[in-house]
A and B are shown apart, each in its own frame.
Chain A
């Protein structure tokens, strides 16, 4: 990279670096912030001027850094004539705006933020005009949308500011998104995202099939940004921004980005009919329409906004013509528009600042009160009107000249006539700006007594009108830059000679007509204004808002329909979706033929099967009665256990039956606190709908299961059978799978169980602290409670059963590795034994006799299991690698010790703890609901009676 390349990189980065400073200087004054914003801008400007001579000589300065080579994105910049022109405008006007804003903003405004956003915006704009990679350009493009959003909404307390900012972002953001698509297509046609490469492939691109989509998408980006009809409506609403922002965004920068893009892409995209008709027509319509609306705007800034729209239309039209001369005119007008429009915006700001109003109807006669402002405003407005000796005249003449020999759909008059009308309207609103603000009688009802602002405030527009006059009188001073920029746009060596007098040409007559017509129009402004106000016309802002409201309304409707909060609807949608995709897959293939036959069905099994089906069906019928449902669920569980027994899976049967027991017992206890019946919620129609969905889903799953069970399959279980004893040290393969082969699953599952216990506990605590507690307090049990809640018989039986159950539990645990059983079942068996004690003697009697916290039990269980697994790491083996050995302790027979058993112990403890914690939670709720505490093991103790008798 050349020395100049580094300078170029530095220029591109400077504003971003500079942006960091003012933002953090929250308490610094306006001058300090402005200075810190001015320094990087000025520095970049000076550096740019240093590079300018080589560019004027026709060199292109390039700089490149790798960024994301996989996507063809590099941070490459280049400075050619067009870039130089725009960069100069961005930085030069930037400096003037920084100065102007220093005086315009008040003490209360957060000035640091303002300058940060301004510099961010400046950097983004600079990036657009210097990018040598269209993806990079795109990034800067989006950045201008973002930073202008922050600038437009700077006065956040104004609703118009917020709305204007969001509208601007929505419109330009949408264009930006379209442009992403367009640029991607363009890049893939050209095979490179490098702008220099793309610019060389104009013919190939125009010939490509994808030219049209790329063109339309890119134009969408350019038109939204440059406020072309029908996307023009955001620009006037962006006027809620502070005036320095408007002056910057709408004269030199933001809106010119679209024009810049058209100019940049000119060599590649222009020259086709599509280009001409889309771009030139849009520009022409925008030019006339914008000028027409501007004439009837009473807000100074709105007038200028629509005049900006109109002038952007003019530029777009010129570029749309696709001729070299039109391109020269466009480049020249870009410069001229910048000078007079920035000056005019600043003038409007000064008037607003001094008189506290921007309403033209409340102004007039300011020429003696604000002489300096009057001069500045008048010069700039005359230039905008296109009066000779001001620079606006020159480029307008060139425009009319180009328009005068442009055919539109075979018509020689359409474009010239329309262009003349546009120019005419332009004259009218420009003169109105002068006469209705400055001329006329002095008034005594200004909201604030005006006078000229301090020098700092009018210095910037003052400098600009010097340029207006200089170029207007001696246009050859702009020869160099216009030539360089226009050559860069067209890709051809151009040497235009700008001069005031072109002789008596059609353009001159068109000009004369425009000025004369404009004056006439202005003199008839008052009646026309009334006509305008009475005429119905579409309000773009209202249409935009209706569009947004329609989208939001649709969203709301859609969301409410689908998210009505009913879980049954969610489940119905879920089930339908499942059946639907399943059917789609099935339709494509069908089910395969079975490879084995059905097993015989013995009568006992048939009975069990019928019971299972009947119980399931009956649940559907009686589900409103919770108690009956529970009984039926118990039957279902029992039948499934029986099924496991029949299918030679004793371990599963054992587990299933203990789980069923515990679950049903806990559910029974929980039912205490719930209404006996569930409310009837579904209408008949919905029941029918749900029935159809359920049958479809159930039938599908059944069919699938049927298809699978009639097929032979080879599984990995042979390995488990073969290695259970050899590798796992146990003959009960199911248990070895649980604690060894797949111990990791079990480890996860006991954590799930333990957490479930905690969650129930936490829920109970939260409930008892919340509003539900009140309901519990007043809960009326709708049935009779036994007087003898803790009957003697039950107490005695459970006490007797306790040691037996514990021994059984230990037995089941110990034999688990070789026979059906194991820690999980053992934990449940002992939990059942304890559960029975609680049922017999009441929770608190039993609770007082337990020695260990259930929380802790779960914790210990998980830790034991975890440590057993991690212990393998000490031997440099993977987690949960098991080991076993045989021990011989006389007089006991030789027995086996496996680490897997330790793991199983963890399972055992966790299961026990979790079940007990659930029970504990339920009994806490019972306590709260008014259940009394018993201190004795039973309500009626015959032993006590006997003692009393003895004492007596």
Chain B
């Protein structure tokens, strides 16, 4: 079974090697597309297995857990890998049109695939130090992607990005060291048992280190500064994959650690998370309201939306976790798509600063229609995926009579509507200030479809989840049940010892 788990990591690595070797020609980009497609197939097989058999685990190097490194997939991991593969495929197709030969020669596709490998690795690992390694893989490759164009603002954003993330990584490493010092193990399943015997007070202190370290990755309040500083600078493909996936790894790690290992003092840890969640929602959406550039607005909305996911974790009721899982999946699709659309808008109108663009509704109605889907899904309008996501969380908050929390979640939704309609009114409705009539048909047919096909596919997915939420909610319920009762997870990883 272990190959099921190793393959989703190995495929992007192998793709990266080939893409790198072929970086000087057109073949490299098609290798990237093929690799992403293969990853999607592999992740589907993994998902199938997890659905059929429950948690799947594999011991790398055949060393029994907890002595070697364990890869493990429960439903949450599996769905995250699937969604990663979907985004990877969408973005690598989009990159056919978005990424120029200069960036390709510098190894764009290889860096992209390594990033994807890092993301899937982080979702699949069952070992805390191994998670750190995947964080490193993601950090270095994302830094490379971020500065690939070499423009001054990219370097500036990139340095802030890497500096703040490195500091958080140090904290993560310190946390790992201390946790090992307390429990003598790194295997997450083993940890979940071992922490019971540890000094609970110290454990809470260590939990805080992890909360901060993952909080930086997830871009929660007040640790999100690196994100708006960097995300608007690189190529749109890069923005899209960052927006969709990177912060979600942080959220995933928070969910994993704070359901599996650090659930001993939820009165403190999850109360802090609750505050963090609400403040993240609010500050993110306020930041967005202050922006006048499409990509900057969208970047701040990532922060705001992260708050919702953390909220699900913080409430820690079954329904709230269902909401968090559903939100993760919904958000990745929608957010990546919005950045892809921003890329097309940029190509057609010559920018993303809202005051300098416009006229897309009249001349590119297809793009306008495609924008409406993720934009209003993000704002939580029915019958799109975002509505269910918000609805689940608001319902969860009301169930525990968290009036203020529910009110914050709803009010943030209102400001999200404000931002989305701002983009809509200025980039789409308002005529272009220079009188340009940006048309999709101005793009060469090949490029046009390379950009539109992924956007259409992701939009269709958003609508599909919106119209047929039942299987997705049912899935999220199963995933949440596994998270809240990790018996299957622990037993599968540790075998007889569990």
A residues contacting B by CB (< 8 A) are 26, 66-71, 110, 113, 138-139, 142-143, 145-146, 149, 153, 156-157, 159, 162, 165-166, 169-170, 173-174, 177-178, 180-181, 184-185, 188, 213, 548, 551-552, 554-556, 558-560, 562-563, 565, 567, 570-571, 573-574, 577-578, 581-582, 584-586, 588-592, 701, 704-705, 707-709, 711, 713-717, 719-720, 723, 727, 740-745, 748-749, 751-752, 755-756, 758-759, 761-763, 765-767, 769-772, 855, 859, 862-863, 866, 870, 872-873, 877-882
CA distance A142 to B388 in the complex (A): 13
Secondary structure of the B side of the interface? helix
Q: Does B63 contact A (CB under 8 A)?
A: yes
Chain B residues with CB below 8 A from A577, complex form: 212, 222-223
Contact-residue size bin, chain B (C-beta under 8 Å from the other chain): 35 or more
**Given A68-B470, A156-B361, A878-B6, 14 more contacts at CB 8 Å?**
A159-B430, A188-B398, A551-B415, A559-B290, A560-B290, A571-B164, A573-B225, A588-B268, A719-B67, A745-B133, A748-B133, A748-B137, A755-B144, A872-B61
**Could you tell me if B160 and A570 are in contact, using CB atoms closer than 8 angstroms?**
yes
CA distance A581 to B190 in the complex (A): 26
Chain B residues with CB below 8 A from A859, complex form: 17, 20-21
B residues contacting A by CB (< 8 A) are 2-3, 6, 10, 13-14, 17, 20-21, 58-63, 66-69, 102, 106-107, 110-111, 114, 117, 121, 129-130, 133-134, 136-137, 140-141, 143-144, 147-152, 155, 159-160, 163-164, 167-168, 171, 174, 178, 180-186, 190, 199-202, 204-205, 207-209, 211-212, 216, 222-223, 225-226, 228-229, 265, 268, 272, 283, 286-291, 361-362, 365, 376, 381-383, 387-388, 391-392, 394-395, 398-399, 403, 406-407, 410-411, 413-415, 417-418, 421-422, 425, 428-431, 469-470, 473-474, 477
User: Can you name the residue of chain A whose Cβ is closest to the Cβ of B130?
Assistant: A745
CA distance A759 to B151 in the complex (A): 15
**Could you tell me if A713 and B289 are in contact, using CB atoms closer than 8 angstroms?**
no
Chain A residues with CB below 8 A from B6, complex form: 878-879
A-B contact pairs, 17 of them (CB 8 A): A68-B473, A70-B473, A146-B381, A169-B421, A170-B414, A181-B398, A552-B290, A567-B163, A570-B164, A571-B163, A571-B164, A584-B208, A585-B205, A707-B202, A713-B182, A751-B13, A873-B3
**A65 shortest CB reach to chain B, Å:** 11
CA distance A755 to B141 in the complex (A): 7
Chain A residues with CB below 8 A from B136, complex form: 748-749, 752
Assuming the A-B contacts A177-B413, A585-B207, are A590 and B268 also in contact, with contact meaning beta carbons closer than 8 angstroms in the complex?
no
> Which of A178, A567, A870 sits near B410, CB closer than 8 Å?
A178
CA distance A740 to B411 in the complex (A): 53
CA distance A190 to B108 in the complex (A): 57
Chain B residues with CB below 8 A from A173, complex form: 414, 417
CA distance A581 to B164 in the complex (A): 18
**B419 shortest CB reach to chain A, Å:** 10
**Could you tell me if B395 and A184 are in contact, using CB atoms closer than 8 angstroms?**
yes
Listed residue (B202, B223, B392) with the most chain A CB atoms within 10 angstroms of its CB:
B202
CA distance A146 to B387 in the complex (A): 13
> Which of B137, B212, B222, B383 sits near A562, CB closer than 8 Å?
B222
**Could you tell me if A71 and B391 are in contact, using CB atoms closer than 8 angstroms?**
yes
**Could you tell me if A762 and B383 are in contact, using CB atoms closer than 8 angstroms?**
no
User: Can you name the residue of chain B whose Cβ is closest to the Cβ of A113?
Assistant: B365
**B141 shortest CB reach to chain A, Å:** 5
**B131 shortest CB reach to chain A, Å:** 10
Assuming the A-B contacts A555-B290, A578-B171, A716-B185, are A870 and B10 also in contact, with contact meaning beta carbons closer than 8 angstroms in the complex?
yes
**Could you tell me if A563 and B199 are in contact, using CB atoms closer than 8 angstroms?**
no
CA distance A369 to B477 in the complex (A): 69
**Could you tell me if A720 and B130 are in contact, using CB atoms closer than 8 angstroms?**
no
The 7 closest A-B pairs by CB, nearest first: A589-B201, A766-B150, A715-B184, A748-B133, A156-B429, A878-B2, A759-B144
Assuming the A-B contacts A173-B414, A570-B226, are A741 and B148 also in contact, with contact meaning beta carbons closer than 8 angstroms in the complex?
no
Chain A residues with CB below 8 A from B121, complex form: 748
**Could you tell me if A177 and B130 are in contact, using CB atoms closer than 8 angstroms?**
no
Chain A residues with CB below 8 A from B202, complex form: 589, 591-592, 707-708
Chain B residues with CB below 8 A from A567, complex form: 159-160, 163-164
CA distance A582 to B212 in the complex (A): 9
Chain A residues with CB below 8 A from B387, complex form: 139, 142
**Could you tell me if B381 and A563 are in contact, using CB atoms closer than 8 angstroms?**
no
Chain B residues with CB below 8 A from A855, complex form: 20
Chain A residues with CB below 8 A from B185, complex form: 715-716
**Could you tell me if A71 and B60 are in contact, using CB atoms closer than 8 angstroms?**
no
User: Can you name the residue of chain B whose Cβ is closest to the Cβ of A179?
Assistant: B410
Chain A residues with CB below 8 A from B199, complex form: 589, 592, 711
CA distance A182 to B316 in the complex (A): 23
**A514 shortest CB reach to chain B, Å:** 40
CA distance A863 to B20 in the complex (A): 12
**Could you tell me if A745 and B286 are in contact, using CB atoms closer than 8 angstroms?**
no
Chain B residues with CB below 8 A from A759, complex form: 111, 140, 143-144, 147
CA distance A872 to B6 in the complex (A): 12
> Which of B148, B201, B429 sits near A591, CB closer than 8 Å?
B201
**Could you tell me if B470 and A66 are in contact, using CB atoms closer than 8 angstroms?**
yes
CA distance A658 to B421 in the complex (A): 57
Assuming the A-B contacts A156-B361, A879-B10, are A582 and B205 also in contact, with contact meaning beta carbons closer than 8 angstroms in the complex?
yes
CA distance A562 to B182 in the complex (A): 37
User: Can you name the residue of chain B whose Cβ is closest to the Cβ of A760?
Assistant: B144
Assuming the A-B contacts A156-B362, A756-B140, are A763 and B147 also in contact, with contact meaning beta carbons closer than 8 angstroms in the complex?
yes
**Could you tell me if A743 and B20 are in contact, using CB atoms closer than 8 angstroms?**
no
Assuming the A-B contacts A180-B391, A573-B225, are A751 and B114 also in contact, with contact meaning beta carbons closer than 8 angstroms in the complex?
yes
CA distance A882 to B62 in the complex (A): 8
CA distance A879 to B71 in the complex (A): 10
Chain A residues with CB below 8 A from B144, complex form: 755, 758-759, 762
Chain A residues with CB below 8 A from B190, complex form: 716
> Which of B59, B60, B205, B228 sits near A704, CB closer than 8 Å?
B205
